[in-house]
Structure 1
């Protein structure tokens, strides 16, 4: 990596897929990141967002045996949870095969122990699971560029998530035009689920748990 790449972001390679037309591998400040739809999708920024969520929204003594990552991307969340809970079994679900290929070639996901990766739509994957607890923790980061799929906002989908996982955390964008969309989504959840939140400068993270006797 040359000096210019430390000072100014440099696009190393561009990719296209049927799901994302603006995929870039970018070198900057001594590291490589994945950008999609003009947004950073991997690296230190993403890890900091998820670290805050795990620190703020989970019990202090929480130690999951199985973790589901919906919207695997380049694997930043997987690297983070693997370092925190090295014995945990990690299941990643990623819609875009091009992104999976990039993650394997450029982001060292093969070094993550106990990882199983599925090239599948998150909605289809979740709907195929039996309605019983299978994952101790689920992290949802299913953006296509800057768009959160509407079908993943449905109460039916969220209910199924809480049936297969007692702790669900959803990452949402939270600046400019995204703020009212994210707040509306959270507002629609409140009558049906127990929720708590934390946020960073740009993101709003919602922890969702099934309320006892509600939504069954």
Structure 2
């Protein structure tokens, strides 16, 4: 994660997308990865994922032949939890910019993008709003910058916008996303349209479907801060690795 100045001294934040396997598959040793074939081979929209769906280039170490007596029930419960996790594929679609996959679990709903199937947005269910990932840190931004609109480059499913408006309901946010179909899916499955309505204290998310690096529609006065959440194929966009981009 980094902080830097853009335009009229806004603040930028970036961090890599959260891997799917670390989010709702219990960690194994070594950490497995979920392959794209796991989803392509499913004929039903409801999937039951087992250890056979996880691939690893290394063999797991043999179990301890002499476990402690009190470790057996815990080990059995952990093995059962790790062996099986139910989730439902809500939609899977290919667009000009993305391979979009939205999955639903008992605890959360997740947006997976491109061939890496990295998680780019999370919507928690129930009373728990925090994701345990880098989106939570964006909430600390409003009180340390000047008053004014905050831009989000790479809106995705709107995880950052949900969290920020939940904690700071009077915020004026502007989200930039290049994929119109992705925005439609975010409105349908992640409640993005609710954020676009002006709330009781004047807070609101304004959505721009355009290239975040196109300044034609940007505010002439700039933003109080800019959150950069732009990734492709599991990597930071090449434009963000150029000095000239960060100095605009």
Tell whether the 8 Å contact from 2:47 to 2:87 is kept in structure 1 after alignment.
Answer: no
Paired position in structure 1 for 2:193: 110
Counterpart of 1:68?
151
Aligned partners of 2:145 and 2:224 also within 8 Å: no
User: Number of residue pairs matched?
Assistant: 154
Contact persistence 1:123–1:152 (CA under 8 A): no
Distance 2:231 2:136 in 1: 19
Structure with greater Cα Rg? 2
Judge conservation of contact 1:66–1:90 (CA < 8 Å) in 2. Answer: yes
Is 1:86 the equivalent of 2:163? no
Q: Find the aligned partners of 1:59 and 1:100 in 2 and give their Cα distance.
A: 24
Q: What is residue 159 of structure 1 aligned with on the other side?
A: 247
Query: How far apart are the structure 2 equivalents of 1:10 and 1:129?
Result: 38
What does residue 107 of structure 2 align with?
30
Superposition map of 1:65-214 within 5 A: 65-112=148-195, 113=198, 114-125=204-215, 129=218, 133-160=221-248
SS at match of 1:72: coil
Give SS of 1:83's match: helix
- Give the direction of change, closer, same or farther, for the CA distance of 1:52–1:15 in structure 2 (3 Å limit): same
TM-score normalised by structure 1 residue count: 0.61
1:49 and 2:134 matched = yes
**Residues 158 and 190 of structure 2 are in contact (CA less than 8 Å); yes or no, is this contact kept in structure 1?**
yes
Indicate the residue corresponding to 1:17 in structure 2: 95
Seen in structure 2, the aligned counterparts of structure 1 residues 64 and 76 have a Cα distance that, compared at 3 Å, is farther
Q: Which has more helix, going by share of residues?
A: 1
Partners of 1:129 and 1:59 in 2: how far apart? 19
2:47–2:89 contact (8 Å) kept in structure 1 = no
Question: Where does the alignment leave 5 or more consecutive residues of structure 2 unmatched?
Answer: 1-45, 50-83, 125-129, 199-203
For 2:74, the equivalent position in structure 1 comes to none
- CA–CA separation in structure 2 for the residues paired with 1:46 and 1:151: 28
Deviations 1:86-137 (A, max 9, x none): 1111101001111111111111112114211111111114x6647x652112
CA–CA distance in structure 1, aligned partners of residues 194 and 146 of structure 2: 21
Q: Does structure 2 retain, via aligned residues, the 8 Å contact 1:47–1:76?
A: no
RMSD between aligned residues: 2.9
Give TM-score, length-normalised by structure 2: 0.54
Quickly say closer, same or farther: Cα 1:101–1:64, change in 2 above 3 A. same
In the superposition, relative to structure 1, how do residues 54 and 79 fare at CA in structure 2: closer, same or farther (>3 Å)?
closer
What secondary structure does 1:99 align onto? Answer: helix
